[in-house]
Structure 1
């Protein structure tokens, strides 16, 4: 028990230190970078959930973009009425709950599937879900989607932020703070889960499901639990994404999004929350940097935009070849070698 308490205490202290870094970064950057850090935050949450599902439990999902769509549309519907009096954190929590329910249904249906069969089932989910708003166009906005209204910043929070930082709290910075606080909470929860008995059960099922079943672990329950936790992360990420874009539309949650999340997990390091953070950073900052570099080299805007996916793909191939454990895994091995030498 004392060892578990020590782990939780260490995770909380690390989260507090990270919160200080977040405050310093967000207060010293402008609106554009604040928006980019918000994007990195919701990608990190989604990648963290996928890391639990794939890295710890061994289930490959190609449909997390669809689960993000559930969270995004739930948020858009809850904020549709100007008279909505629910605080924004409560709305985000409701979006997570709705996505948890959807994830439980999908997880139960997919609990008996493994490997390419599970990937195929979640791939079908990613293809089918963006078509639902087109079918229910009257309530879900069709191809144009739903406009997401950003709630007003609470007065007491704006006053407190001005008292602490000496700057007015803009909506972009407010959303960035909210997103990164969500990242820290989610990562602390996932880190504690991975070190708990539940996390050890997930790893046992991943390593050898026959041995895990002989040890008394319910394989179906372990897989459903991992899928539900991962779905809740995707729902929260989708809600924050909708708030950042001010829109929930089918085009934002196409199959490409699910594939990008998988690539972010592979790039950062499969099974590592630090790797999920690295992958989210690369997914957020690498394409704009490549596009800007292409423009500086004289390419047209369209050509520079088309260059970004090519470079991202080449970087993915290089990392897979040179560091199969991802960026975080490669750095961890390098540090271990230096300490050993």
Structure 2
């Protein structure tokens, strides 16, 4: 990472924060909530992009990792509230707990991932995606079964005024945490560690012969990705103020993987497109189901299954038309437009 990388990323962080601040005063409450949800999903898709796109490890269990982060935050917030800690200082503690717990689980999965490859790794992560929601139902005394846990959250600071929209405060919280996470992940991708990830992804045997700790690199990739997923799940719990196993089903894990492929595998900017798709697609399918002349029962059935069908169709189309995803296609278009610009005339030679 060059000396100019961190200042450039900090500048982009400031620009992103200013853009969120300005946009938050232009959107209605429902759109503010949607924007905050995009920020929460962006943490998870960015982590999955690093794992699958940069290290080449396939995970079908990131929805379960989000569930671990969400339940960890809910339990932490409830424990702190029982001890009288309900102010704004409790939230950073709960977020840290959620990240640490999910990081520990990611380390366990990463150790297993260092020993297996391909479909076997997908099978292990698929087991995690199925087991975590089932455990929350089995131990209903702790996790309250299918009803889930309420997440206590302090109101916006009084200095913002009595009529400050709660959804705007949610967006500020989610965006602030996500921007900081993206700053760390972006610096990591462009550091020596990012180059090691790509080396292992491109040729694991050659990386091992070159003396690189392949197993350790694979484990660290899972740890970083799990921490980001847990943070995304914790933010989602803050937004919905409730955590239940139905919100973190296997369909979410599959949707996350599809989203990063559609957005652009291996590109953090592609993770942003994937997060946007995760939030926009359910609303689009709901509007489509309402527009079609269907019976209420059939419309309800289509609304439940149509998002997955459209996700699959979108994935097929992207693989055929734009193999690099949305961000890869945009990058090629930008490069083609740049090459068509008239070049400066070369200075006359003497």
Q: TM-score range by the shorter chain?
A: over 0.9
Please say if residues 287 and 309 of structure 1, whose CA atoms lie closer than 8 Å, have aligned partners that are also in contact: no
- Given candidates 201, 209, 231, the residue that maps to 2:196 is 201
Contact 2:114–2:218, Cα closer than 8 Å, also in 1:
yes
Paired residue for 2:12? Answer: 14
CA RMSD, Structure 1 to Structure 2 (Å): 1.7
Q: What's the CA shift string for 1:104-153, capped at 9, x where partnerless? A: 11211221111111111101111111111122111111121111122233
What secondary structure, in the 3-state scheme, does the structure 1 residue paired with 2:4 have? helix
Please, what TM-score do these two structures have when normalized by structure 1? 0.92
> Is the contact made by 2:151 and 2:243 (CA closer than 8 Å) also made in structure 1?
yes
Question: In structure 1, how many angstroms separate the alpha carbons of the residues matched to 2:306 and 2:58?
Answer: 28
The Cα of 1:304 is off from its aligned counterpart by 5.7
Within 5 Å, which residues of 2 pair with 1:1-341?
4-81=2-79, 82=81, 83-85=84-86, 86-155=89-158, 159=159, 161=160, 168-299=163-294, 300=296, 301-302=299-300, 305=303, 306-341=305-340
Contact 2:77 2:91 in 1 (8 A): no
Q: What does the per-residue CA deviation read over 1:150-184, in whole Å, with 9 as the maximum and x for residues that have no partner?
A: 223333xxx2x45xxxx943332212111111221
Q: Which has the larger radius of gyration?
A: 2
Moved more, 281-290 or 216-225: 281-290
Question: Quick one: distance in 2 between partners of 1:208 and 1:311?
Answer: 34
Once the two structures are TM-superposed, the CA of residue 319 in structure 1 deviates from its matched residue by 1.3
Alpha-carbon deviations, 1:28-82, whole Å to 9, x = none?
A: 1111111111111111110000000011111111111111111111111112243
Equivalent-residue separation in structure 2 for 1:287 and 1:152 (angstroms): 28
Deviations 1:200-220 (A, max 9, x none): 111100000111112221011
State the alpha-carbon separation in 1 of the partners of residues 257 and 72 from structure 2: 24
Normalised by the size of structure 2, how large is the TM-score?
Answer: 0.90
Give the deviation of 1:232 after TM superposition.
0.3
Count matched residues: 331
Instruction: Check conservation: 1:78, 1:84, Cα contact below 8 A.
Output: no
Structure 2 gap ranges (5+): 341-350
Deviations 1:250-301 (A, max 9, x none): 1111111110100110010000011000011111112202321331344445
